């Protein structure tokens, strides 16, 4: 059971591990689908993902307070701007979402889900959902002999005011050959516009954060697997790349990284929340020590307007592009400026390929969308480090040790 006192971990020094986590577990290969073979990006989708990511974090703050009885330490660091208080291949939808397959119920039915460390609930469209779930495979609890209704509702509000609502159940849930016999999940009776088929390719979402931010106030699937003794290590690992990517459940895959892990203690259990030391451009610090939420469900690096402006002021040819969306910046498509983030004393270089999200439409491919953006609701007390950061490291997410680790990709 998590205690709000977990934030005292912030006082611990950063650690570099001499050995990696236990290597036993299940490999889940992931691949990156290229939805833009011409290299042209979709600014509207990208801008929507920025807003979605920040709104998701803010919604989790409210869940944290309901579940723990105390306010999340970062909850006052955002301005609420119009928002409510075996192997399993994964795909990155428009370089925005990593998803793969789980099975639910008896008999088992397969669903695709977004694997999201920035949330903690498993939800699927249910058979009671109408046209808003059209195109998605639906979960029918009446067709599963192991489904149990909990007589509880589920609600998640997004930045555009749209809502995912549903009912809670327990059922058998498996990923590869790892099975939880009584996992809490939500069957959505309404999907928001953010989750319609054209905007959201997976059927549902599988949160991989901590119970403290669960809207259902229930253990996430990986924690259920831990409690059941199904996995031998309380760690999962991610590698994100254009090829050879992988989610590893129950340890890490030592073939995908070199050297030791640099471990950073979580400051609060809820999100995967820790601190980075600095962000540098051309070796010169431009942003100082700041809390980060490491989020596989976010595409970009997202920060406050002042900090993001400092970052781009140091990049030759970078420009603010409000006509493409609030907080959006562009860079020359020939961009090769060295950007690095220091996490726990480990310098992680952000490759030009990961920071360049594709060319701006109708601009002769000379201007590209940048991999960092600002959100005006952020005050500077925390940033969100998404796929643009995470694809440059092998990451280990240690549930039992309340820490996150980074190693150099092999």
- Which residues form the catalytic set? 116, 295
Contact 74, 61 (CB under 8 A): yes
The span from the CA of 350 to the CA of 389, in Å, is 6
The span from the CA of 155 to the CA of 165, in Å, is 4
Question: Which residues are 168's β-sheet partners?
Answer: 186
**183, two tokens:** 């996992």
Closest by alpha carbon to 271, among 93, 60, 126? 60
The span from the CA of 359 to the CA of 38, in Å, is 9
SS3 245: strand
Contact 396, 259 (CB under 8 A): no
SS3 5: helix
The span from the CA of 173 to the CA of 129, in Å, is 20
b/e for 299-327, b at 16 or more Cβ within 10 A? Answer: bbbbbbbebbbbbbebbeebebbeebbbb
- Burial label, 361 (beta-carbon count in 10 A; 0-12, 13-18, 19+): middle
Question: What φ, ψ does residue 132 adopt, rounded to 5°?
Answer: -65, -20
Contact 51, 194 (CB under 8 A): no
Closest by alpha carbon to 396, among 262, 213, 258? 262
Rg of the chain over Cα atoms, rounded to whole angstroms, equals 20
């Amino acid at each position: 059971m998590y205690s709000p006192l977990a934030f005292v971990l912030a006082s611990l020094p950063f650690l570099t591990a001499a050995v990696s986590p236990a290597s036993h577990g299940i490999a889940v290969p992931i691949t990156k689908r290229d939805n833009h073979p011409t290299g042209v990006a979709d600014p509207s989708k990208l801008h929507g993902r920025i807003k979605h990511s920040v709104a998701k974090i803010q919604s989790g703050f409210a869940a944290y307070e309901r579940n723990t009885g105390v306010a999340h330490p970062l909850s006052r660091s955002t301005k609420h701007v119009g928002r409510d208080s075996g192997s399993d291949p994964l795909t990155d939808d428009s370089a925005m979402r990593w998803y793969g397959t789980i099975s639910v119920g008896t008999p088992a039915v397969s669903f695709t889900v977004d694997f999201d460390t920035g949330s903690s609930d498993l939800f699927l469209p249910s058979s009671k959902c109408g046209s808003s779930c059209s195109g998605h495979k639906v979960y029918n609890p009446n067709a599963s002999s192991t489904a149990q209704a909990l007589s509880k509702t589920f609600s998640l509000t997004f930045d555009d005011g749209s809502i995912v609502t549903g009912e809670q159940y327990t059922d058998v849930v498996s990923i590869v050959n790892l099975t939880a016999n009584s996992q809490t999940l939500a069957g959505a009776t309404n999907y928001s516009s953010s989750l319609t088929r054209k905007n959201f390719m997976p059927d549902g979402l599988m949160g991989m954060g901590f119970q403290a931010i669960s809207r259902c106030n229930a253990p996430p699937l990986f924690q259920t697997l831990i409690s059941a003794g199904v996995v031998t290590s309380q760690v999962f690992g991610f590698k994100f790349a254009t090829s050879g990517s992988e989610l590893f459940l129950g340890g890490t895959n030592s073939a995908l990284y070199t050297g030791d892990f640099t471990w950073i203690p979580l400051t609060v259990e809820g999100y995967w929340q820790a601190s980075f030391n600095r962000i540098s451009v051309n070796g010169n610090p431009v942003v100082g020590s700041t809390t980060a939420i490491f989020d596989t469900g976010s595409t970009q690096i997202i920060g406050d307007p002042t900090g993001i402006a400092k970052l781009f002021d140091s990049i030759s040819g970078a420009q603010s592009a409000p006509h493409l969306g609030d907080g959006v910046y562009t860079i020359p498509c020939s961009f090769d400026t060295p950007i690095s983030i220091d996490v726990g004393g480990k310098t992680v270089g952000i490759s030009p390929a990961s920071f360049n999200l594709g060319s701006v439409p109708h601009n002769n491919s000379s201007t590209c969308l940048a991999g960092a953006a600002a959100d005006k609701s952020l005050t500077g007390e925390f940033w969100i480090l998404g796929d643009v950061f995470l694809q440059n490291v092998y990451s280990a997410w240690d549930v039992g040790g309340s820490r996150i680790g980074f190693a150099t990709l092999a």
